[in-house]
Chains A and B, each alone.
Chain A
Amino acid sequence: MTPPNAARRGRATGRLAGTLSWAYALLLAAPLYYLVVSALKTNIEIFTQPFSLPADWLWENFGTAWQTADLGAALLNSALISVVAIAVTLGLSVPAAYALAYQDNRLSRLITGVFSAGFLIPPFAALIPTVILAIELGLFYTREFQMLFLPASALPLSVLLLTQFMRTVPPALVESAALDGAGHWRLLVSVYIPIAMPGIVSVTILQLLTFWNEYLFSLTITGTAADVRTAQVALPTLLSDATDFGVLAAGTVLTLLPVYVAYTMSSRRMQEALTAGAVKG
């Protein structure tokens, strides 16, 4: 095969790839568009004209959804659980990652192995024992148990990722800090944490997103009571026999909004975080 021939074929397959990639993008965008326009319509209009822009823009759907699903309280619950859980996650995983990055011996590799094995645990199979644990601790149907449990589910990925980032600390730097009399605490706070900061930010974004989006555990452990339930649990309560699809779509948009706002504010960071998570996972 001669190069010009290959180049021509390359351009052809390139065009094909381009077309297909946009077709898939359209497939991704269409349901999102359908969601947003439906949020401003009545049921009848959604059924008869699914993809056209609303004839009357029914902004009150948002108000109805907000009140019916008590979304204000639910979003606050989600925020509270996510923030406490991320604080606990970092509090546990940063020192552990420091130790694992600092000390490389058989024991530290064993500990790393224990965390790696965590990926193999089927989360929903362990759900029932987790519910029993919550009952035993007297924390069933509370937000507190979720705050304790979510960090544990986040530990394998967080510890492994942070260890990778902390390994990038140059040994010479550690040596000179140690010669200046820095103990482990000083080393961690003034050498490791600043250098591993991109990793810490990545883990924070990644796990915040996971905690915010968590559904089945929140449903079963925190429960559906209006004062404790999270936004993800509150949303499906808009489903009923006489579902108002417009209100449902409006509620969905409202629950999605915080994540998209966060994404537009830090899209680059967020992409880095999510790709880093899967790369090391």
Chain B
Amino acid sequence: MPSTSTLARPAGPGDTAVAHPPRANRRRRANSLQSARVLWLTVPSLLWFAAFAIGPLAAMFVIATMRWKGLLYEPTYVGAENIGRVLTDPTFHAAVRNSLIQVAVAVPIMIPLAFMLGYHLNTKPRGYRLLSVLYFSPGLISISITGMIFYGVLSPNGGVNGLLRGIGAESWATPWLADPGTALAALIAIDLWRGIGWTAVLFAARLASLPADVIEAAQIDGAGRMRTMWQIAFPMTLDYVRTLTMLQFLWTLFTSAALILLLTKGGPGTSSTTLSYLVYAKAFSQRDLGYSQVVGVALLILGIGGMILIRALLRSSKENTR
């Protein structure tokens, strides 16, 4: 990428000040444009970002040290007390476990399947336009609409149970979201339903920019479809795979609260309480802001830790395949 600093370079030989006096003035002006003052233009957005994003992030750490029973009360400073309360709470343990299950199941299923589907989509099979529109549509559908759709689909008298009755598998029918054995699995299934196709379209877009001759050369050399996909295309797009893995990891970890609030409220019991939902529930229904923000900090740490792990994992696999 040609950086803008090349502008600072003196003008070419035909452009000397002696030959064209008026241009000298102009060039001085052009050079004055090169001052660092242009970065003042970033100040409004930085201030905005600081006020509404970094400020709340910093406040998280402060509130985590307070006992604060709901927004109408006065907070008192209690230092590290909240940390102890959180770490010994079985609900928190359940939330950590559920969050780990959620990311450990959803992300490793989603990324390889999405990559394969994206590869398939990129070979432009028959009807790929229709396929890509369908794959794309969960990306258009908001979380509350997704919630409403699956509230209908998974309810005791909903679409899934209706389908099971229709094929004579009545005994499998269950209130999917109200059964402690299936609530978390149902939420993960919705994540996958939303995520795979959408991620596949993103992979297809990236794969489309791979040089076609590399793939052709591999096929002429006798590499099968699987080999071409995993040993040629995959390593070439590894950076992108890593980016999408990180994004899906962060989305799954950070934003599961909304769907859970709509569908299971963390229950039955704590069977579908994730960390992100616990942050919300502790603050707004159980009125314990200090606890909530300790979980928030835990979430931040887990997010950063996961990013580092994904980075390391997807880097070493790159070296192995080479």
Q: Which of A99, A125, A275 has a CB less than 8 Å from the CB of B39?
A: A99
Whether B117 pairs with A24 at a CB distance below 8 angstroms is: yes
Question: Could you tell me the distance between the alpha carbons of A34 and B241 in the complex, rounded to whole angstroms?
Answer: 33
A242 interfacial by beta-carbon distance below 8 Å: no
B220 interfacial by beta-carbon distance below 8 Å: yes
A98 interfacial by beta-carbon distance below 8 Å: yes
Whether A267 pairs with B280 at a CB distance below 8 angstroms is: no
Whether B224 pairs with A6 at a CB distance below 8 angstroms is: yes
Whether A101 pairs with B4 at a CB distance below 8 angstroms is: yes
Which A positions have Cβ atoms within 8 angstroms of B? 1-3, 6, 9-10, 13-14, 17-18, 20-22, 24-25, 27-32, 34-35, 38, 46-47, 49-51, 92-93, 95-96, 98-105, 107-108, 111, 114-115, 118-133, 135, 148-149, 151-153, 155-156, 159, 167, 170-171, 174-175, 178-181, 183-184, 187, 209, 212-216, 220, 232-233, 235-236, 238-239, 245, 248-249, 251-252, 255-256, 259-260, 263, 267, 270-271, 274-275, 278-279, 281
Residues of A close to B300: CB separation below 8 A: 120-122, 125
Closest to B293 in A: A128
Q: Which of A18, A34, A174 has a CB less than 8 Å from the CB of B120?
A: A18
Contacts of B119-146 to chain A: CB distance below 8 A: 120-121, 123, 125-127, 130-145
Q: Which of B147, B201, B222, B307 has a CB less than 8 Å from the CB of A1?
A: B222
- Known contacts A152-B49, A152-B52, A249-B152, A126 near B296 by CB under 8 Å: yes
Residues of A close to B117: CB separation below 8 A: 20-21, 24
B217 interfacial by beta-carbon distance below 8 Å: no
Whether A96 pairs with B136 at a CB distance below 8 angstroms is: no
Residues of B close to A25: CB separation below 8 A: 130-131, 134-135, 197
Closest to A98 in B: B41
Q: Which of B51, B56, B140, B148 has a CB less than 8 Å from the CB of A209?
A: B140
Whether A6 pairs with B223 at a CB distance below 8 angstroms is: yes
The 10 nearest A-B residue pairs measured at CB? A125-B296, A50-B162, A152-B52, A213-B142, A129-B56, A129-B59, A178-B30, A99-B41, A92-B45, A126-B56
- Known contacts A99-B38, A126-B53, A133-B52, A34 near B140 by CB under 8 Å: no
Residues of B close to A114: CB separation below 8 A: 46, 49
Kindly provide the distance from the CB of B226 to the nearest chain A CB, expressed in whole angstroms. Answer: 6
Kindly provide the distance from the CB of A142 to the nearest chain B CB, expressed in whole angstroms. Answer: 15
Kindly provide the distance from the CB of A127 to the nearest chain B CB, expressed in whole angstroms. Answer: 7
Closest to A128 in B: B283
Residues of B close to A279: CB separation below 8 A: 202, 205-206, 240, 243
The stretch among B84-92, B254-262, B314-322 that forms the contact with chain A is B254-262
Whether A131 pairs with B71 at a CB distance below 8 angstroms is: yes
The stretch among B100-108, B153-161, B176-184 that forms the contact with chain A is B153-161
Can you pick out 9 interface pairs between chain A and chain B where the beta carbons lie within 8 Å of each other? A9-B225, A31-B159, A107-B36, A124-B258, A155-B48, A178-B30, A216-B258, A216-B280, A259-B141
Kindly provide the distance from the CB of B190 to the nearest chain A CB, expressed in whole angstroms. Answer: 10
Whether B196 pairs with A24 at a CB distance below 8 angstroms is: yes
Q: Which of B48, B55, B141, B303 has a CB less than 8 Å from the CB of A92?
A: B48
Question: Could you tell me the distance between the alpha carbons of A129 and B54 in the complex, rounded to whole angstroms?
Answer: 10
Which B positions have Cβ atoms within 8 angstroms of A? 1-7, 23, 26-27, 29-30, 33, 36, 38-42, 44-46, 48-49, 51-53, 55-57, 59-60, 63, 71, 116-117, 120-121, 123, 125-127, 130-145, 147-153, 155, 157-159, 162-163, 166, 193, 196-197, 201-202, 205-206, 219-220, 222-226, 240, 243-244, 247, 250, 253-255, 257-258, 261-262, 276, 279-280, 283-284, 289, 292-293, 295-297, 299-300, 303-304, 307
Residues of B close to A178: CB separation below 8 A: 7, 26, 29-30, 33
Whether B45 pairs with A159 at a CB distance below 8 angstroms is: yes
Residues of B close to A159: CB separation below 8 A: 45
Residues of A close to B56: CB separation below 8 A: 126-127, 129-130, 133
Closest to A184 in B: B38
Closest to A170 in B: B2
Q: Which of B38, B142, B243 has a CB less than 8 Å from the CB of A102?
A: B38
- Known contacts A99-B42, A125-B60, A245-B152, A14 near B123 by CB under 8 Å: yes
Whether B42 pairs with A129 at a CB distance below 8 angstroms is: no
Residues of B close to A107: CB separation below 8 A: 36, 39
Whether A51 pairs with B159 at a CB distance below 8 angstroms is: yes
- Known contacts A34-B159, A274-B139, A118 near B53 by CB under 8 Å: yes
